[in-house]
Structure 1
Amino acid sequence: MEKIRIAVRKFDPFETTLQKLWDAFCLENNISVEAEMIPLELHDLYEQTLTNKGLINGDWDIAHLNTDWIFDAVNSRAVENLSPLISQNPPQDFPEGWHHSLLHLQEINNQVYGLPFHDGPECLIYRKDLFENTTEQINFKNQYGYNLHPPKTWEQFTHIAEFFNRPEQNLYGCVFANYPDGHNMVFDFCLQLWTRGGSLLKDHKQININQPEAIEALDFYRQIVNNQKTTHPKSKEFASVEAGMAFATGEAAMAINWFGFASMCEVIEASKVKGKVDIAQLPSNENHNPASLNVYWLYTIGSGSKHKKIAYDFLRFATTAKSDELLTNEGGIGCRKSTWNDPEINKTIPYYHKLSMLHENALTLPQTPVWPKVAELIDAMVLEAINGEIPSQKLLETTQTNIQKII
């Protein structure tokens, strides 16, 4: 038999987990099939699987796709409908084993097109050892007139980032991921918008970002990213993985990133902040709710795969409670409720149980085939904002005009 080819989101914990799972799967089922796993960066992964029709052509049997892309993938018939396979031979505890927020984005027209692989909504990650230090607390109160605690508002976030910004100690107040990959800056913009009471969708459920809350969101974001008194100077070079590593190696007091980068701090060897980290909900403007963003990774099967049976058998194996725990212990984020509440995992990662809290406030991006193109336009807009002088209102107007052309 030919090899099974798997397109893997490039990230060490994903790569090591997949290899261990495949080896265990072959051993348990007494099969000797080689899996060729190719780790790909975000842009390359999208290009190889969807733009170049790799899933349709049979170049890939299995692929990691994130939920931003699944609507596009289903629309172009790139991924296999798993519903008939699930009804014959469901995964362990399906669907009760997962929080409902991890099952609905891949369910389109009542059909299921992927199984949850890796999760962890956006949250505030912070250094609890700094926040709980008595000297720091006294100095902060003297300087700002209120007690030091995880920021509830964006103004407090700025104060705290200023307070902990100590370049001479290679410690910065906060770190962002501003590498233009069509994702992180788009997500950051959405979070800034939502926590100010804005929405991506206006009348008739059309995407419309040209609104007062968006001006405020973009103004704040471009200002904080460029603020040398608060922000890690390499933020503009960092994608989410590099920003996560900078936090894990002790270079920032706060980060807004995926939950997975918090848990990574407790399990990877390179971490210098084990036992010193906690998470909280994101800050928001007064009288507005905190928000989180729920984008998660799926296991999908290519519609052109010649090995669909073994691919689905592997997906069932890779999503058991035991496999979900393995992913977590390797540094990824398990998707099952059993993993979130596991006492051993919460011993290693004391805030793991907070995942269910984050999911209660987690919003999702619009499900439309044009979203990847809209995301590119928003990404370009935020990049222009942080690197240039054009007023936010003008940038938003221009971007909205370009969005209208796509819609």
Structure 2
Amino acid sequence: MEKFRIAVRKFEPFETTLKKLWETFSAENNLSIEVEMIPLELHDLYEETLAKKGLQNGDWDIAHINTDWIFDAAKAKAVENLSPLIAHNPPHNFPEGWHKSLLHLQEINNDVFGLPFHDGPECLIYRKDLFENSLEKETFKNQFGYELQPPKTWEQFTQIAEFFNRPEKDLYGCVFANYPDGHNMVFDFCLQLWTRGGSLLDINNQISINKPEAVKALDFYRNIVNNKKTTHPRSKDFGSVEAGMAFATAEAAMAINWFGFASMCEVIEASKVKGKVDIAELPHDENHKSASLNVYWLYTIGSGSKHKALAYKFLQYATTPESDKLLTNEGGIGCRKSTWNDVEINKTIPYYHKLSMLHENALTLPQTPVWPKVAELIDHMVLKAINGTAPSKELLEETQNNIQKII
């Protein structure tokens, strides 16, 4: 029997949202086709949809694809160009319903290759209850000579993490996601670089990471990750989901992670920090400004799908204001402005409206077909840095040489 197949990024809020959406969509449209939704970890999702050409050969009708991969996917003709469908029958309030920063990465040569599904730029997530505790504030000020508040600089971040690091109470100063999956450590490196005034590109718009700001970035990052006085000891095993869960189960005072993991703290059952969380912009170097990273998830249609009309109809349904709000209530991050400003949502997640502030500072990764390969090299470099002793300058030189080979 023919099936309608969806490749889902493995994360419980995504899985429950899609299940609920398909059930109502199927009932409303009186569908008899059987659906198969397969949750896949990041690496497996990339393998199944793009590396093994699953989207081209009809294995998948719909797939969650993140914006890191969309340039690659469009170039390989793996995903359907949605522009003709949008021109004929646009999704509800398209494009005005979304912030402009959620529309441009999937637009390649004026064609649109996906619709925004889940978002939430990187930010500082912190335990508001600890930061606002009068005894903690007094002790901190006596120790460091300044007020306890969300850190503005990386030096303050380290001091505050050390202050709150209490392993005997299963509480650590901060938590990172250092599992080498080609994403988390790459993003962390970029954020460290940008918040020190660095860039991934040189004046000719070519990827160039061998620069003084990158040495500072890598030095700081490898030190903090290995600092037993500040950092959750299981950070090296954690992907972003696991690091997010560690924060939600009250194991860390601060985290640098996607906004979605802050909002998750208010809606999932396992959370021990409901009502105790807030977000702020990322710390930065003394003489530079904060930055954020915007990588988001898209709904895409496989170019080899035999059910393209049905797939597009479902995409329209899955991106309505109601569906977007449902995703948020399940623990994901809605992409529509209507969800960000929703009164009920902001009652549950009091910092939800801050999404637009994060987007103003959000940078994106270079749009080039070689980016996935470059990301792999950077991932490997950061892993070498945190697990070894080779100087950062040496590691950056070596990585840049390898990047040159693929450019």
Q: TM bucket by the smaller chain?
A: over 0.9
Amino acid at match of 1:148: L
Which residue is equivalent to 2:395? 395
Q: CA deviation at 1:203?
A: 2.3
Q: CA deviation at 1:33?
A: 2.0
Q: CA deviation at 1:37?
A: 0.3
Which residue is equivalent to 2:41? 41
Q: CA deviation at 1:158?
A: 0.2
Q: CA deviation at 1:334?
A: 0.1
Amino acid at match of 2:139: N
Amino acid at match of 1:253: A
Provide the rounded CA distance (Å) in 2 between the counterparts of 1:197 and 1:143. Answer: 30
Which residue is equivalent to 2:293? 293
Matches within 5 A, 1:280-319: 280-319=280-319
Unaligned runs of 5+ in 1: none
Which residue is equivalent to 2:154? 154
Q: CA deviation at 1:160?
A: 0.2
Q: CA deviation at 1:192?
A: 0.1
Amino acid at match of 1:126: Y
Provide the rounded CA distance (Å) in 2 between the counterparts of 1:295 and 1:328. Answer: 17
Which residue is equivalent to 1:6? 6
Q: CA deviation at 1:287?
A: 2.2
Q: CA deviation at 1:109?
A: 0.1
Provide the rounded CA distance (Å) in 2 between the counterparts of 1:159 and 1:32. Answer: 59
Q: Secondary structure at the match of 2:299?
A: strand
Which residue is equivalent to 1:357? 357
Which residue is equivalent to 1:337? 337
Which residue is equivalent to 1:84? 84
Provide the rounded CA distance (Å) in 1 between the counterparts of 2:341 and 2:288. Answer: 29
State TM-score, norm by structure 2. Answer: 1.00
State whether structure 2 residue 273 is matched by structure 1 residue 273: yes
Q: Secondary structure at the match of 1:242?
A: helix
State whether structure 2 residue 226 is matched by structure 1 residue 232: no
Provide the rounded CA distance (Å) in 2 between the counterparts of 1:130 and 1:301. Answer: 45
Amino acid at match of 2:140: F
Amino acid at match of 2:274: K
Q: Secondary structure at the match of 1:55?
A: coil
State whether structure 2 residue 142 is matched by structure 1 residue 142: yes
Which residue is equivalent to 1:54? 54
Unaligned runs of 5+ in 2: none
Amino acid at match of 1:70: I
Task: Determine what percentage of the aligned residue pairs are the same residue.
Answer: 82
Provide the rounded CA distance (Å) in 2 between the counterparts of 1:240 and 1:84. Answer: 36
Q: Secondary structure at the match of 2:326?
A: helix
CA displacement 1:360-381 (0-9 Å, x = unmatched): 0000000000000000000000
Q: Secondary structure at the match of 1:77?
A: coil
Which residue is equivalent to 2:328? 328
Q: CA deviation at 1:289?
A: 1.2
Provide the rounded CA distance (Å) in 2 between the counterparts of 1:33 and 1:317. Answer: 17
Which residue is equivalent to 2:30? 30
Provide the rounded CA distance (Å) in 2 between the counterparts of 1:153 and 1:68. Answer: 28
Q: CA deviation at 1:286?
A: 1.5
Which residue is equivalent to 2:71? 71
Amino acid at match of 2:347: K
Which residue is equivalent to 1:369? 369
Provide the rounded CA distance (Å) in 1 between the counterparts of 2:287 and 2:356. Answer: 23
Which residue is equivalent to 2:15? 15
Provide the rounded CA distance (Å) in 2 between the counterparts of 1:28 and 1:187. Answer: 41
Provide the rounded CA distance (Å) in 1 between the counterparts of 2:161 and 2:281. Answer: 16
CA displacement 1:162-210 (0-9 Å, x = unmatched): 0000000000000000000000000000000000000000021000000
Provide the rounded CA distance (Å) in 1 between the counterparts of 2:266 and 2:16. Answer: 17
Which residue is equivalent to 1:255? 255
Amino acid at match of 1:382: V
Q: CA deviation at 1:78?
A: 0.3
Q: CA deviation at 1:32?
A: 2.2
Provide the rounded CA distance (Å) in 2 between the counterparts of 1:379 and 1:298. Answer: 23
State whether structure 2 residue 133 is matched by structure 1 residue 133: yes
Q: CA deviation at 1:31?
A: 1.7
Q: Which moved more, 1:286-295 or 1:273-282?
A: 286-295
Q: Secondary structure at the match of 1:274?
A: coil
Which residue is equivalent to 1:383? 383
Q: CA deviation at 1:128?
A: 0.3
Matches within 5 A, 1:97-246: 97-246=97-246
Provide the rounded CA distance (Å) in 2 between the counterparts of 1:184 and 1:94. Answer: 31
Provide the rounded CA distance (Å) in 1 between the counterparts of 2:24 and 2:367. Answer: 36
State whether structure 2 residue 345 is matched by structure 1 residue 348: no
Provide the rounded CA distance (Å) in 2 between the counterparts of 1:89 and 1:133. Answer: 53
State TM-score, norm by structure 1. Answer: 1.00
Q: Secondary structure at the match of 1:38?
A: strand
Provide the rounded CA distance (Å) in 2 between the counterparts of 1:323 and 1:224. Answer: 39
Q: Secondary structure at the match of 2:204?
A: helix
Q: CA deviation at 1:8?
A: 0.2
Provide the rounded CA distance (Å) in 1 between the counterparts of 2:64 and 2:85. Answer: 19
Q: CA deviation at 1:35?
A: 1.1
Q: Secondary structure at the match of 2:48?
A: helix
Provide the rounded CA distance (Å) in 1 between the counterparts of 2:288 and 2:189. Answer: 16
Provide the rounded CA distance (Å) in 2 between the counterparts of 1:133 and 1:213. Answer: 36
Provide the rounded CA distance (Å) in 1 between the counterparts of 2:288 and 2:364. Answer: 17
Question: After TM superposition, what 4+ stretches of structure 1 lie above 2 angstroms from structure 2?
Answer: none
CA displacement 1:319-353 (0-9 Å, x = unmatched): 00000000000000000000000000000000000
